[in-house]
């Protein structure tokens, strides 16, 4: 077996998000959502999380990231910290993020900063957050301010993380704040997110002309359970278009598409410098006309992946099927947009690290195959650097390369962290790594 080498200058990164690691984020809508019993598994709360805010433990985590030979890290700014009340900016919060970004750069790690990763300031949530068009200039102003304050430390930005996950969980199945089930409202939220991304894209470039700006798109390939059935194929294609394609299409041709609307948004055309891909699994879907909230589809149980699944994986697999081949197809599909691609998230929840090494190697080999097929992938950010607060799943699902004992805040790199360190150091998947 010959080693699989990656292009020179490839970014080997890890990823986190503010609310999941900082702790003490008590001025946003997720904090409020967590206080209601039943919203978060086991009654978990984000309270201290990984203690980045009060304990400034990001320093030790970045030491570990450096020891893993990574050269990039994706993190997010918490809007409710830097703008705690509408139009009021916090110098203390900006100083904190300056320390965080400087800590990365001192360790030779390039920051990729996300401006919105699921949470909204409480004042914005009280105004309807993304349901109202008023969010667009508010987000544009926030983006402008962040880049003015932090632009000397970072020039690589994700405006919004996984807009379709936000609108699906918050407005279609209602499992996340604000807990609504209203498809047309979901489409309005999506349109506002698109418009806000476009406004922020141009605003960031006004402050920092050389910036690289994109979205982190959640892309889940949707495979028809019975490809011979026309209706099943059509349904999968419609879901793919709604879930994976709608925003990318609007950024390509400058207009909305069914079912989001048909408005022309000329300033959207070309408003992304790279394609951010968050890829975890594919989903096999069958027709189910009794499930309008699921867009008339029923996900089927996953097919085996060559390992027996434990409870944690089973729980997660309920949502999808591990499928490295679909990762290859996803990256090849993304190449059609003619922009560099960054895998802004990919990973697996696996508390004991039984399956992570296998998942990691298979997905990196898949990414290598996609690159060989012409997909311009320039970097990969493993989700996540460290076990953290996994939204409605609380601390039950552990995605980290580094174990966190939340009671003592003790960090322990898992075997897959050492594996990732070797891959990053060699900028390659060595033959013995793949054989193992
Ligand atoms: O933890 C999340 C992250 O916030 C967004 N993408 C998926 C991850 C794992 O579920």
* pLDDT of 319 above 90: no
Q: Output the pLDDT for position 313.
A: 80
Q: Out of 17, 401, 404, give the residue to mutate to test ligand 1, the one with the largest number of ligand atoms within 8 Å of its CB.
A: 17
pLDDT in tens, 27-49: 999 999 999 999 999 999 999 99
DSSP 8-state secondary structure symbol assigned to residue 22: S
State if residue 278 touches ligand 1 by the CB under 6 angstroms criterion.
yes
- Asked whether the predicted pLDDT for residue 91 surpasses 80, the reply is yes
Q: Report the pLDDT value the prediction gives residue 318, as an integer from 0 to 100.
A: 72
Does the CB atom of residue 162 touch ligand 1 within 6 A? yes
The pLDDT value given to residue 31: 98
Q: Give the distance from CA 150 to its chain's centroid.
A: 21
Angle ∠(238,243,245) on CA atoms, nearest 5: 80
Q: What is the mean pLDDT of the chain?
A: 96
Q: Decide: 390 in ligand 1 pocket, CB within 6 A.
A: yes
Given this model, what pLDDT does residue 310 score? 81
Residue 203 to residues 168, 190, 211, 402, Cα–Cα distance (Å): 27, 20, 11, 36
pLDDT band at 298 (very low <50, low <70, confident <90, very high): confident
Residue 309 confidence (pLDDT) above 80? no
Residue 293 Rama label (left phi>0; alpha psi -120 to 50; beta) = alpha
Fold designation for 4-435 = TIM Barrel (3.20.20)
Question: What mean pLDDT do residues 382-389 have?
Answer: 98
Residue with tokens 């704040």: 177
The CA angle 387-392-397, to the nearest 5 degrees, is 30
What pLDDT is attached to residue 175? 96
Q: What is the pLDDT of residue 436?
A: 86
Residue 87: what pLDDT? 98
Give the helix, strand, coil percentages of the chain, each rounded to 5: 45, 20, 40
Q: Which of 22, 317, 347, 399 best tests ligand 1's pocket when mutated (most atoms within 8 Å of CB)? A: 399
Output the pLDDT for position 312: 84
* Cα 161 to averaged position of ligand 1 atoms, centre (Å): 9
pTM over the 0.75 mark = yes
CA of 390 to the centre of ligand 1 (A): 7
> Residue 214's pLDDT is what?
98
Q: Establish whether residue 15 lines the binding site of ligand 1, counting it when its CB lies within 6 angstroms of any ligand atom.
A: no
164 ligand 1 Cβ < 6 A: no
Q: How confident is the model at residue 307 (pLDDT cuts 50, 70, 90)?
A: confident
The predicted structure's pLDDT at residue 212 = 99
pLDDT band at 404 (very low <50, low <70, confident <90, very high): very high
- d(Cα 58, Cα 409) in Å, to the nearest integer? 12
Residue 306 has pLDDT above 80, yes or no: no
Does any ligand 1 atom lie closer than 6 A to the CB of residue 17? yes
Indicate which residue's Cα is closest to atom 2 of ligand 1: 390
**Cβ–ligand 1 contact at 383 (below 6 Å):** yes
pLDDT at 315: 80
pLDDT band at 415 (very low <50, low <70, confident <90, very high): very high
Tell me, using a 6 A CB cutoff, whether residue 371 lines ligand 1.
no
């Amino acid at each position: 077996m010959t080693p699989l080498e990656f292009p020179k200058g490839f970014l080997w990164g890890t990823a986190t998000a503010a609310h999941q690691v900082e702790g003490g984020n008590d001025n946003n809508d997720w904090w409020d959502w967590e206080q209601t019993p039943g919203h978060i598994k086991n009654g978990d709360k984000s309270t201290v999380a990984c203690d980045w805010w009060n304990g400034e433990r990001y320093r030790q985590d970045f030491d570990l990231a450096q020891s893993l030979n990574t050269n990039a890290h994706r993190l997010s700014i918490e809007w409710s910290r830097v703008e705690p009340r509408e139009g009021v900016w916090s110098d203390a919060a900006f100083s904190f993020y300056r320390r965080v970004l400087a800590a990365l750069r001192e360790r030779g790690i390039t920051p990729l900063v996300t401006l919105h990763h699921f949470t909204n300031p409480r004042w914005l949530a009280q105004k309807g957050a993304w349901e109202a068009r008023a969010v667009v200039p508010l987000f544009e102003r926030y983006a402008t301010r962040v880049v003015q304050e932090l632009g000397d430390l970072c020039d690589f930005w994700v405006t919004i993380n996984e807009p379709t996950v936000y609108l699906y969980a918050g407005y279609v199945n209602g499992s996340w704040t604000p807990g609504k089930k209203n498809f047309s409202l979901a489409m309005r939220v999506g349109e506002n997110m698109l418009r806000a991304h476009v406004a922020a894209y141009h605003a960031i470039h006004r402050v920092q002309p050389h910036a690289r700006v994109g979205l982190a798109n959640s892309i889940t390939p949707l495979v028809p359970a019975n490809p011979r059935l026309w209706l099943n194929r059509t349904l999968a294609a419609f879901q793919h278009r709604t879930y994976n394609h709608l925003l990318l299409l609007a950024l390509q041709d400058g207009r909305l598409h069914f079912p989001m609307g048909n408005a022309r948004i000329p300033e959207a055309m070309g408003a992304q410098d790279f394609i951010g891909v968050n890829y975890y699994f594919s989903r096999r879907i069958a027709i189910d006309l009794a499930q309008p909230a699921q867009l008339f589809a029923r996900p089927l149980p996953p097919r085996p992946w060559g390992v027996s699944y434990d409870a944690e994986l089973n729980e997660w697999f309920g949502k999808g099927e591990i499928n490295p081949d679909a990762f290859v197809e996803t990256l090849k599909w993304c190449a059609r947009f003619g922009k560099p691609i960054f895998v802004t998230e990919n990973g697996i929840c696996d508390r004991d690290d039984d399956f992570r090494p296998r998942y990691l190697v298979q997905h990196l080999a898949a990414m290598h195959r996609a690159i060989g097929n012409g997909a311009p992938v320039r970097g990969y950010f493993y989700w996540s650097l460290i076990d953290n607060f996994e939204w409605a799943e609380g601390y039950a699902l552990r995605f980290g390369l580094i174990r966190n004992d939340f009671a003592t805040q003790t960090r322990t790199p898992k075997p897959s962290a050492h594996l990732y360190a070797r891959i990053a150091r060699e900028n390659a998947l060595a033959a013995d790594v793949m054989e193992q």
